Amino acid sequence: MRHSRHPGPSPMKEMARIKLAGFGVALFVSGLVLLLYQALSLRSALTADANVQADMIADNVSAALMFEDVRSAQEVLHSLRKVPYVESAAIYTTDGERFAAYARPGVPRGEMAEASPDHVKPAKHRLSFEDVFVAATIAQNGKPLGSVVVVATTQKMLDELLHYAAFIIGASLCALWIAFVVTTRMSARIAQAEKKLEYLASTDPLTGLPNRRAFYEQLEQRLQRGADTCSRAALILIDLDDFKTVNDTLGHGAGDELLKHVAIALRQSVRLADLVSRIGGDEFAVLVAIAKEKAEGIRTAERIARALARPFDLPRASIMASASLGVSVFPDDAADVASLVSSADIALYAAKGVGKNAAVEFHPSMTVEARRRARLDAQLRKAIETDALHLVYQPQFECRTGRLIGAEALVRWVHPVDGEISPTEFVPVAEDSDLIVALGHWVLRRACRDAARWNAEHSIDVHVAVNVSARQLRQPRFSEDVKAVLAESGLSPHLLELELTESQLMANMTAGVEAMRQLRAAGIRLSLDDFGTGYSSLSYLQAFPVNKLKIDRTFVNPLPRDGQPIVTAIISMAHSFGIAVVAEGVEEPAQLAWLDDAGCDIVQGYLTGRPMSLEGITDLFNSECEDSEPLT
Ligand code: C2E
Ligand code: CA
Ligand code: CA
C-alpha cells in the first residue's frame, strides 16, 4: 500500500559511511604523528646515552692515553660490550691518529659504521635514521690529549619503532572495527526509526489505513499511471450516516470501534490492489480500478453500501450502520485529482440529500447544482444583511375550542432574479455553514417583534412558533441569545415556542438536551417538529424536555383511510408523557375530523389557514375576537 519516498540509500546511511571514513583518516594521521614523535624521542634518547658513554670513556682513558698504554685503553673500550647499542668506538690522539678501537663482536665489518671524527655531525640531523656518531674530548688537567668517538646503531631503535607502528595499526584497526560495528547498528536503528516515522505520517492510527495525506499522494500517482495506460478508476467517497449519534449516545470508544469495523468491511469489499483510506473523522475514500465500463464504479459503490448497511457488533451494543457514497470516474468525470475529488464530493452531497444509505454517481448537472448552492449562499448572506427576507405566519388552532392559539413563522426570500425561493432549498444551504446562525437570529428577532406587537395590540395570548436548526442550538450561547431577543422585543417567554426537529436533536443529544433545559427554565416552550420522520422511536420522547410534538404531514396525509394506528399510538404516548400533539399538513375536513376524534390537541394546515403575511394574520386576530367555536 505504502510507497517509499527515498529510492536510493537513505541519507542517514550515507552520513554514517562518511563519518566512518573520516574517523579512519583521523586515526591514520594521528598514528603517523605518534610514530614520528616516538622516532624523534627515541633518537634523542639514543644520542644522549651515546654522549654519556663517550664522556665516561673519555674520563677513564685519559691516564692510559697520557702513558700511551694501549692495552688499558683497549680494556676501557671493551667495557662497551655491555652497552648493546654501541656498535664501535675509537680513541684518537690530538694528532688524529687512532690510538685504540673497539667493534661489537658478531656484527659483520661491512655493515658496521667506522668510528671516525669525520662522521661526527652537528645535532641538526635529528630526523635521520642513520647511525649516531658522538665524540668527547679526552683531557688531563684541562689539557686536551685526544678524543673518543662512539658510534651508536639505530637498528634497535628502528626495531622498536616497527613494533610501535604494528601496535598502532593494530589498535587503529580495532577502533575502526568497533566504530564500524557501532555505526552499522546505529544506522540500522535510524533506518528503523525512519520507517516508523514514515508509517506514522502516512497511516491512520485507529484503522491502520492510509491517512488523507497518503491517500492523495497515491491518488496522484495512480491517476498518472491511469492516464499513461488509458485505464479507468472510480473514486468513491464514503460518509457514515449518523456517526455523531453513535459517538454522543454510546461514547467515543464505541465510535472508534465502529470505525475499525467499517475499515475492515471496506477492505474486504474491494480487491487487494484497490486503495482504501480514512480521510477524515467518519469519512473514507476508496479508489478502485475499473476493467471495462464506467458503470462498474457505481456498482462497486452500491456493493460497498450493502456491505456497510448491517449491524456491527461492538463490545457493548450492536449498531445498525449505513453510509452515503459519492462516485466519480476517472477520466470520464474528471481528469485530475482536484476535480475528481470535487466531483465525488458533489455526488456524495447529492447522496446525503437522497437520505441515508445511498450511493450516487456524479453527473455534470450536479456541478450546476453545486454552483447554484454556492451562489445562493453568497446571496442569502447579503439578503440577511440587507433585511431582504420576510416572514409569513401560518395559524395554529386548538381542536377542542377552535381558538387561534399560535402561528408558525416561516421565512420567505424573494430573490431579485430568480423570484421566490423555497426555504426547503435555501435553509439547507444555510445549514451547511454558520449562515444558519445569522438567518435563525434574524427570524427570531423579527418573529418576536411581530408577536410582541400583535399580542399587545389585540390584548391576546397568541404564541409564535419559530423553527430552530441544530447548528443554532449547538451555539454555546444560544439560550442567552434567545433570552436577549425576548427582552429586546418585550415578548413574554411563554409566548415563544421553538420548533426543533427530532433528527437534529439526535445528532447531538447531550448538548441539545442541555440547551433545551436552559430554555425551558427561562419559560420558553419547545416543540418537536416533523415527529416520526427521524428516529421514530417513541421511547426517545422521554429524553427531550418538550411541551409539544408535531406529527409530520407524511402521517397526516393518508388519514383517515390509512395510518390511523401509528397516529393513535403517537397521540396516546405523547399524552402519557404530558406532551400536547400538533398535527401539521391538515388539508382535508375528513383529516381534521379524524384528528379531533383521536384526541389531537392542535392543527395546522392549508385547510385551516395557509402561511400568510403579518397583515393577514392580524386580520385573523380581529375576526377571531368575534367568533371562536370548535373547528369541526
Ligand atoms: P416545517 O417547519 O415543517 O414547516 C411547515 C411547512 O409545511 C411549511 O413549508 C408550510 O408552508 C408547509 N405546510 C403547511 N401546511 C401545509 C399543508 O396543509 N400541506 C402542505 N403540503 N404543506 C403545508 P415552508 O414554509 O416551505 O417551509 C418548509 C420548511 O423550511 C419548514 O418546514 C422548515 O423546516 C423550514 N423553514 C421555514 N422557515 C424556517 C426558519 O425560519 N428557520 C428554519 N430553521 N427553518 C425554516
Ligand atoms: Ca416547523
Ligand atoms: Ca414540520
Mean pLDDT for each consecutive 10-residue tract of the chain (632 residues)? 47 78 90 91 91 92 89 91 90 90 80 71 61 90 90 88 92 90 86 85 94 94 91 96 84 92 96 95 95 93 94 85 95 93 93 86 89 89 93 97 96 90 93 91 97 93 95 89 97 96 70 87 94 68 86 94 92 92 97 97 97 95 69 65
pLDDT value of position 7: 46
Going from the Cα of 410 to the center of ligand 1, the distance in angstroms, rounded, reads 6
pLDDT value of position 2: 39
Chain center to CA of 66: 103
Going from the Cα of 467 to the center of ligand 2, the distance in angstroms, rounded, reads 5
> What residue ranges line ligand 1, CB within 6 angstroms?
394, 410-411, 422-424, 427, 440, 443, 467, 469, 499, 529-530, 553, 584-587, 605-606, 611
φ, ψ of residue 456 in degrees (nearest 5): -70, -45
Going from the Cα of 466 to the center of ligand 2, the distance in angstroms, rounded, reads 7
pLDDT value of position 628: 56
Q: Which of 427, 464, 531 to mutate to test the pocket of ligand 1 (most atoms within 8 A of CB)?
A: 427
- Say how far apart CA 255 and CA 248 lie, in whole Å: 9
Any idea which ligand is nearest the CA of 530? 3
Could you report how far apart the first and last alpha carbons of the chain are, in Å? 70
Atom of ligand 1 nearest to the CA of 466: 41
- Say how far apart CA 419 and CA 442 lie, in whole Å: 21
- Say how far apart CA 43 and CA 131 lie, in whole Å: 10
Atom of ligand 1 nearest to the CA of 469: 44
- Closest C-alpha residue for ligand 1 atom 20: 585
φ, ψ of residue 83 in degrees (nearest 5): -100, 105
φ, ψ of residue 161 in degrees (nearest 5): -60, -40
Any idea which ligand is nearest the CA of 393? 1
Atom of ligand 1 nearest to the CA of 472: 44
DSSP line for 186-245: HHHHHHHHHHHHHHHHHB-TTT-SB-HHHHHHHHHHHHHHHHHHT-EEEEEEEEETTHHH
User: Among 628, 554, 617, 620, which residue's Cα sits nearest to residue 591?
Assistant: 554
Digit-coded pLDDT (tens) for 252-303: 899 999 999 999 999 999 999 999 999 999 999 999 999 889 999 999 999 9
**Rg of the chain in Å (alpha carbons):** 52
- Say how far apart CA 473 and CA 500 lie, in whole Å: 9
- Closest C-alpha residue for ligand 1 atom 41: 411
Digit-coded pLDDT (tens) for 408-418: 999 999 988 88
Measured torsion, CA atoms of residues 534, 535, 536, 539, in degrees rounded to the nearest 10 = -140
Any idea which ligand is nearest the CA of 423? 1
- Closest C-alpha residue for ligand 1 atom 3: 530
The structural domains of the chain, ordered by start, are 14-159 (3.30.450.20), 212-362 (3.30.70.270), 384-621 (3.20.20.450)
- Say how far apart CA 372 and CA 512 lie, in whole Å: 31
pLDDT value of position 12: 67
Q: Kindly report the average pLDDT of the chain as a whole number.
A: 89
Going from the Cα of 358 to the center of ligand 2, the distance in angstroms, rounded, reads 26
- pTM assigned to the model: 0.59
- Closest C-alpha residue for ligand 1 atom 25: 410
pLDDT value of position 625: 63
Going from the Cα of 230 to the center of ligand 2, the distance in angstroms, rounded, reads 52
- Say how far apart CA 566 and CA 573 lie, in whole Å: 10
- Say how far apart CA 386 and CA 438 lie, in whole Å: 12
